[in-house]
Chains A and B, each alone.
Chain A
């Protein structure tokens, strides 16, 4: 299951939002992949996400590998829609 999101946080996914994001993804029991352009990282690793340098307005794709979870995707949507 994969879905595209747009980062609406004005500062992008910098340190604090990235930690929040990893906190969120750690709740999911299984493998998650975050994709930007053609680079794919494990969505549970802070360093991987930080080194992508995701800025405001970047399109990213989240892919759930192990099992589909509609509810979890909604949580992610709410996270990426946050402006601060």
Chain B
């Protein structure tokens, strides 16, 4: 097992949520209940406000935000004070981390009401659609499935290439070779892969050593200071997986040399094209990886060598009598 996986099953506290979103979206805690460290958000989606009004609590799962706006949720705003109180008391057993309110700022009386039933009320200075969008992006990032992979992630000609292999096989050396050819480093040794819908985003763990490479015989190399800012990148979509294997470990009887069938590996449920490269002496791995990236770009554009060979075979006439005649005639008449 070269890499290890862990499904993130974590929850986020409300205080951390407010702190980390500061600067990204302007939020104001109106009620200031003061127990935001204990309140947890367990789900990256928002609750349905209408179901609360209907008092439909079947299959209710706690830990969701509710977003309201005074225009679209006019049902609530048209209620009388007593009815509002009745509504809040009917949902007070639910585990709701906070209500987020957009649009007009609520009155003091209303804030007191939420305080009484122990529901934090957070006011957003932005429009409802933008608030939802930004909070969703943040929550999806926090609750995304993550996996830590031992390997090197490089950006080669705009294609994110993850190089894997046993320790000591020469991953870091290949990365240095690629850096020499003006490609960019994303992460060495510890790559965090994180699923965003159908894509896999790779980056390095946030630490002072995030753009370092460790090569045997040299030690730690600070890529940013040696190769400049152009040689690093913070995150990149992982599109190709390359596995380096010792040349002696490969069974050439089973090794597919032409790649008639494409090889894939699933990472967090996403199929990534995989290439296995046997490592032997006198092999220029950086060059091979560059060619793989080029072939991948060509593949995206619809050019595949196997397809074009198949097409040309399909186009050629079945009987070869005529053509062979032309060929011989050509050779006879050609004086050169």
Contacts and interface: CB of A to CB of B under 8 A. Distances in A.
A39 B147 CA distance: 8
Contacts of A38: 6, 8, 10
B210 A40 contact: no
Interface in A24-53: 31, 33, 38-42, 44-48, 50-53
Given A41-B148, A45-B167, A51 B214 contact: no
A41 B209 contact: no
A65 interface: yes
B189 interface: yes
A46 B8 contact: no
B26 interface: no
B150 interface: yes
Contacts of B1: 31, 65
B167 A39 contact: no
Contacts of B189: 41-42, 45-48, 51
Interface in B122-154: 148, 150
A40 B207 contact: no
Contacts of A65: 1
Given A38-B8, A39-B148, A65-B1, A45 B205 contact: no
A40 B167 CA distance: 15
Contacts of B150: 41-42, 45, 48
Nearest to A46: B214
15 contacts: A31-B2, A39-B148, A41-B148, A42-B150, A42-B167, A42-B189, A44-B168, A45-B189, A46-B220, A47-B188, A48-B150, A50-B212, A51-B189, A51-B209, A53-B207
Closest 9 CB pairs of A and B: A47-B189, A51-B207, A42-B150, A40-B4, A48-B190, A44-B167, A45-B189, A48-B189, A50-B209
